[in-house]
Amino acid sequence: MSPLVSGFSKLSKTDKIKWLATHHFNNDPTATAVLTTYWNSDEKLQRLHDEFTENTISNYYLPFSVAPNFVINGKTYTIPMAIEESSVVAAASKAAKFWQKRGGFTAKVLSTTKVGQVHFLFTGVPDHLLQFFTEIEPVLRASVSHITKNMEKRGGGLKSIELRDKTAQLDSYYQLHCTFETADAMGANFINSTLEQLAKTLVTEAKHYEHFSISDKHIEILMSILSNYVPECLVKATVSCKIDELESTATLSAEAYAKKFIRAIQIANIEPYRAVTHNKGIMNGIDAVVLATGNDFRAVEAGAHAYASRKGTYTSLTHAEIKDDTFTFSIEVPLALGTVGGLTNLHPLVKFALQLLDTPNATKLMEITAVAGLAQNFAAVNSLITTGIQQGHMKMHLMNILNQFEATAHEKAKLIKYFETNTVTHNEVVTQIEKLRTS
């Protein structure tokens, strides 16, 4: 059991590690060595990483990979991906190469509106509240002008404020439902600061509103917070080609392949058990780009899955169809991303990733990220309906198993050759390592 500790955050990094080693690892020097091994030798860079968060004791590394050959709206990209699963990068690269020969991907941002809400309780007369809101809306807007003016210069700002009556769902509950444009910033701090000021102004104005009775005057603010559900911050990506341009297999004609592919997508549209795994594969690609570019992948995940449930059941984020002998595969997904603020100006690899993408604005990054998700899904469904998912996945996983058993360079070369024509399973890899080591 971990002992209680007071003032841990005030300890130096070295003393934090000493406390952990003493109370959790019986002063085993290996524990300390693991942490210090991952410190950056550049003291300035390490200090930067230490200050990204709280109670930092080391760095946690993820591979920073790239997937080349993505043609998006006629321009070629090499996409950065931060992820530990090798098959994701391999699959994305394979899909990019496949569609590069067929005109590439098209992508378009449909809307960029984000949402924030002031949640409050009001026990007075609903009509009095509506009249009050109508009269003070200009005051609410004026009260946040000092927060919004710089964003407005960049084309963003507070777009709308709507009073929403939610008392049918919860007694006395109302919202100020606000929409925002945040230009190239993700905008969380901007939105939250604006909402908190709106809440203060709402309470202040209510106290002095002459048409309120005594019981009307009390507005209790519950919370003021942005929403990570952004169904109006939406991007669509698409690939298409004539059916006869699709690759046939030994057992499937191009037409049969297309129909089987569409059936797989239809299953994800009607079967939530499949849809969750289907969309998880999409997010493999999206999250990897979001993380590499210093954005909030948890917010993107939450918003995407909520969007997949918007019609009352959880469904696929991608769609496929055949029309006029043309196969079309597309994704429509909400992505609240930024290319300024946060880590984008601080983390050296985030800077590199954005430069690699030719310093995109937020809408371009939305397009690129949606394409990564579509490519990932295409590769996954392609494997599922042809060879099966494990053949490619386990071959990519082979190196992890070999490293687990500390295989030498000679052993790796031998076993990679062996598994070119044999099925990779954990048990078979162990068997072959043992054979090599006893021969």
Active site residues: 85, 280, 296, 393
What's the rounded Cα separation, in Å, for the pair 57 and 36?
8
What Cα–Cα distance (Å) separates residue 205 from each residue in 67, 128, 137, 146, 196?
55, 13, 11, 18, 14
Q: Are 350 and 254 in contact (CB under 8 A)?
A: no
3-state secondary structure 176-216: EEEEEECCCECCHHHHHHHHHHHHHHHHHHHHCCCCCCCCC
CA angle at 188 for the pair 183 and 191, rounded to the nearest 5°: 80
What's the rounded Cα separation, in Å, for the pair 10 and 193?
28
Q: Which residues pair with 158 in a beta bridge?
A: 180
Backbone angles phi, psi at 155, to 5 degrees: 95, 5
What Cα–Cα distance (Å) separates residue 53 from each residue in 22, 38, 47, 235?
23, 16, 11, 31
- Closest by Cα among 386, 252, 250, 241 to 320: 241
